[in-house]
Amino acid sequence: MSRRASKESRSVLAVDIGGSSIRAAVFDERGRLKGLRSRSHSFIPGDDNSPFTEELDPAATWVSAIRVIRGAMRDAGTGSMEAVVATGQRHGLALTADLDQTLYLGPTSEARAFFHGQAIEEEVGKEIYDITGHLPALLGAPAKLQWLEETHPGFQHATHVMTLDGWLTHKLSGSASMSDASGIELGLVDLHSRRWAHDLLKRLDAPLHLLPPLCIPGAVVGSLSDYAAAATGLRSGTPVVAAGPDTQCGLLAIGAHETGDLGILAGSTAPIQMVVGKPVLDPDQRTWTGAHILPDRWVVESGTTDAGGALMWLAEILFGDATDALRRFDRLAAKASPGSLGSLAMLGPRQADSTNLGPRWGGFLLTTPLTASRIDRSHLIRAAMENVAFAIKANIEQIEKVAGAASTSISVAGGLTASRSFCRILTDVLGSGLRVAPSEATALGAAICAASGVGLHADLESACKHMVGSSRLLQPDPVPSLEYEGLYERWRLMSNHMDQARDIL
């Protein structure tokens, strides 16, 4: 085999089942992106056509996976992969009867288990948080399984409950598994021991026989079946590796590995995680605590419910659609100065509180009289970006308070980093250095797990050293950063007032 062919063969393929699309990316052993394809999800709407009662179409999702895998390999110019790995949205759930029958495939946004989650919280809410580090219960597998048992006619034939990436791994290899980090996010695994929370699950009458084998990120859980190989174009027998939750994979890829490192995944939402050396829980249960991909490390999490999602909504209002929205936003936001002529956006991004997730008042607050105002689209757009940046700062402060320590470094990745204006605003709002990592962080984190699992690198830490790319370091501009200190306090004050008004919704 030629030197060129040998180099090309040392690649891994990662599939990311996100909130709106499924993506496949090929990375070489140095972490360089060689191929990328994405495809929007096909949803099955619920009876009321609400976005919170929709399922993923299993057949269409499998077809999309096949297409993006084939497309990414064509982009990379090779069909020979050392390993295949998947990651996905953390609170999505799959219920299967066998390899060929998927009973249910639900995204994180699925909320039909709301009342089951409420009942569970009333009974053992504190115990759930103490053991799994997560609330509300409606996001967890126990509540969703109770709802499915009551409503799904085929539930009695179920054989496995899995994460969405676990479902894809199962389709590729025929092997069922769940990483310990993913199990914690689903409320099935003890945060402290990283083992099944059997006592808690028994109290909740969870169907323990549906739990698949538990594994660690980077473990080889199977090999590509002949059927999956024929469908995807991958080599039969290719190792299939377990990764972990999408946010933690992203954290791994942006270099947030040591205690005090903090990572922001700024996409449609903006989860923020800080690495800690032991499980740390919030006495007020506002934040989440989970497992890092690396061993003997955990994360404290607080994040905005909306980020890019709010900006895309604004793009559709202002432009009629969100096509190329960030490029247009970038140009217009750069025209406005900090503070946006007094415009204040309250469009959803806020400090997290997992005990209080209901709707709130929001919108724009503008200086009046409007007839004398010089406010235009550029100010509204900048105010919306400032809203996201203020909310990120508030959540970082909350994490640091819970963790009892200041962050030592801050890194950001995700779709919003394509906007230079947003990155500049965020740096000035935070008032500290900000490392902007390359794109496709979630898929790269999964690829790091794969490369470690099949021995391209000695272990996960070694794979991180070789595959995590360089980041662009931004430093705050002293003048706007000083301005933003006062503007941030104004935003916090108005956020508190808006929260107090929610009772009249």
- Residue 413: which CATH number? 3.30.420.40
Together in a domain, 239 and 326: no
| Residue 123 resides in a domain | yes
Together in a domain, 119 and 242: yes
| Residue 464 resides in a domain | no
Together in a domain, 237 and 338: no
Together in a domain, 229 and 293: no
| Residue 405 resides in a domain | yes
**pLDDT number for residue 500:** 80
End position of a domain, from candidates 248, 276, 296:
248
End position of a domain, from candidates 197, 223, 248:
248
Together in a domain, 207 and 320: no
Nearest CA among 386, 384, 364, 363 for reference residue 373 = 364
| Rg of the chain in Å (alpha carbons) | 22
Q: What is the distance between the alpha carbons of residues 364 and 346, in angstroms, rounded to a whole number? A: 6
**Number of structural domains the chain divides into:** 2
| Residue 33 resides in a domain | yes
**pLDDT number for residue 7:** 46
Q: What is the distance between the alpha carbons of residues 245 and 449, in angstroms, rounded to a whole number? A: 12
Together in a domain, 298 and 190: no
Q: What is the distance between the alpha carbons of residues 200 and 187, in angstroms, rounded to a whole number? A: 10
Q: What is the distance between the alpha carbons of residues 240 and 456, in angstroms, rounded to a whole number? A: 14
| Cβ count near 501 (within 10 Å) | 11
Together in a domain, 289 and 167: no
**pLDDT number for residue 229:** 97
Domain that holds residue 390: 256-436+475-505
Together in a domain, 327 and 410: yes
DSSP string, 25-81: EEEETT--EEEEEEEE--EE--TT--TTS-EE-HHHHHHHHHHHHHHHHHHHT----
| Residue 458 resides in a domain | no
Q: What is the distance between the alpha carbons of residues 251 and 204, in angstroms, rounded to a whole number? A: 32
Together in a domain, 213 and 94: yes
Nearest CA among 245, 249, 227 for reference residue 236 = 227
End position of a domain, from candidates 222, 248, 274:
248
Q: What is the distance between the alpha carbons of residues 332 and 232, in angstroms, rounded to a whole number? A: 43
* Residue 234 DSSP one-character state: P
CB 440 within 8 A of CB 75: no
* Ranges in the chain, pLDDT < 70: 1-9, 47-51, 503-505
| Residue 66 resides in a domain | yes
| Residue 298 resides in a domain | yes
Together in a domain, 195 and 243: yes
Together in a domain, 183 and 271: no
| Residue 465 resides in a domain | no
Together in a domain, 269 and 347: yes
The encoded tokens of residue 81 equal 């992969």
